[in-house]
Amino acid sequence: MSRSARPWQGRRIGIALDLFYFFPAVAPTSPALLVRVVRPTAANYDGPAVDFADALAEAKAGALAWAFRPGERPPAPLGVFAPALSDEYPEDAELLTTHGGERELWWAEEEQRPSNFAILPATDEGEFWEWVAAACHEDAMVARLRRPATKIAVRLVTEADVRLVDTPPLLIEDVEWLTGKEFDQLHDSGLAALTARPPATIPPVTEAEFRAVKLGFVERAVAGDLARGDRRRAAFRTIDLARFDPPAALALIERVAGSARLWDDREGIAAGLAHGLYHLRRAPGRAELLERWRSARDRVRRAALVALAKLDRDFKRQLAAR
């Protein structure tokens, strides 16, 4: 099991994360809000980028909650947590849908610090505590959670539930999706301007519209990588492209593998391609590509196949552990 509900305390971490901000109910007739936002990838060595990624997540969460709980200013969350969820696992699907909606979740908070809590879907309280105990790295935190757990109604709010598509920079999942000029504008004052009022909720955003905005950023980033001859970065960019346009991701994988030069970081390129292929497990055409590569003699393709085999083994072990 890889679930957790650890409090998020602005830890300096580079990868993109789904953060969940909890806004308690303000009236018996209104459910609590559980707002899910993406905290984008930012290189750990780049302090301003990391700080911006954290600020972007917090600003988006406030804006989304504001849209569903009108007032003079954004409501304040009780706390935020970063559960380890994956769309590979059916039990996680309830919190990972593109659009939100009403949910019933299990909840437990610390006695002395209510801002530290666990909230997860589960079939019953016993399953909830099993998941918490298996996922939380701190036994002391589990011991501090109040028992029994409570089942509560929440309204899950996602970035697709409001019209963030009208302000595309708020939907980035990697700070590098922005140009230098865009980053400077957002970092200086643009972020505050874009979240100065609650975003609209109508007309509703379709999943295709939502995904198209993100794909546009990825395609622009890939074009920049290729124009600079940065094949290593383009290889890792296939991970993002795999989520939004699998056929294009497979084509990019073939292109990068076939264009590697002696002076390139071929080990890094192979690692990026392996991760891209790992995220394309269900994509049509993947099996045919792998069959062709098994007869290839070049170093990049062979190394990518070795790395992919390890990723697949690790995934099978994780499934068995669940």
Mean pLDDT rounded to a whole number for the chain:
91
C-alpha 98/C-alpha 38 separation (Å) is 12
Report yes or no: 169 and 178 within 8 Å, Cβ to Cβ: yes
Strands 117-120 and 101-109: antiparallel
- What is the tens place of the pLDDT at every residue in 61-120? 999 999 999 888 889 999 998 877 877 777 788 999 999 999 999 999 988 888 888 888
Q: pLDDT band for position 322 (50/70/90)?
A: low
C-alpha 237/C-alpha 263 separation (Å) is 20
Q: Distances in Å between the alpha carbon of 66 and those of 5, 12, 33, 75, 226?
A: 24, 27, 10, 6, 40
DSSP letter at 294 equals H
Q: Which residue has the tokens 């849209």?
A: 67
Alpha helix segments (H runs only) across 100-245: 125-135, 139-144, 180-185, 191-194, 207-228, 231-244
pLDDT on residue 4: 40
Structure tokens belonging to residue 36: 């899910």
pLDDT on residue 309: 97
- What is the tens place of the pLDDT at every residue in 281-317? 999 999 999 999 999 989 999 999 999 999 999 988 8
Query: Does residue 189 or residue 268 have the better pLDDT?
Result: 268
Query: What count of other Cβ atoms lies within 10 Å of the Cβ of residue 282?
Result: 8
- What is the tens place of the pLDDT at every residue in 197-220? 999 999 999 999 999 999 999 999
List the domain boundaries for the chain: 17-194, 207-321
* Amino acid identity, position 104: E
Q: Does 13 score more than 90 pLDDT?
A: no
pLDDT on residue 172: 98
Q: What is the length of the chain?
A: 322
* Amino acid identity, position 115: S
Report which of 120, 158, 106 is spatially closest to residue 4, judged by C-alpha positions. Answer: 120
Q: What is the 3-state secondary structure (H, E, C) of 33-96?
A: EEEEEEECECCCCCHHHHHHHHHHHHHHHHHHHHHHCCCCCCCCCCEEECCCCCCCCHHHHHHH
Strands 32-39 and 117-120: unpaired
Give percent of the chain with pLDDT exceeding 70. Answer: 94
Q: pLDDT band for position 50 (50/70/90)?
A: very high
- What is the tens place of the pLDDT at every residue in 142-158? 889 999 999 999 999 99
Query: Does residue 139 or residue 65 have the better pLDDT?
Result: 65
Q: Does 167 score more than 50 pLDDT?
A: yes
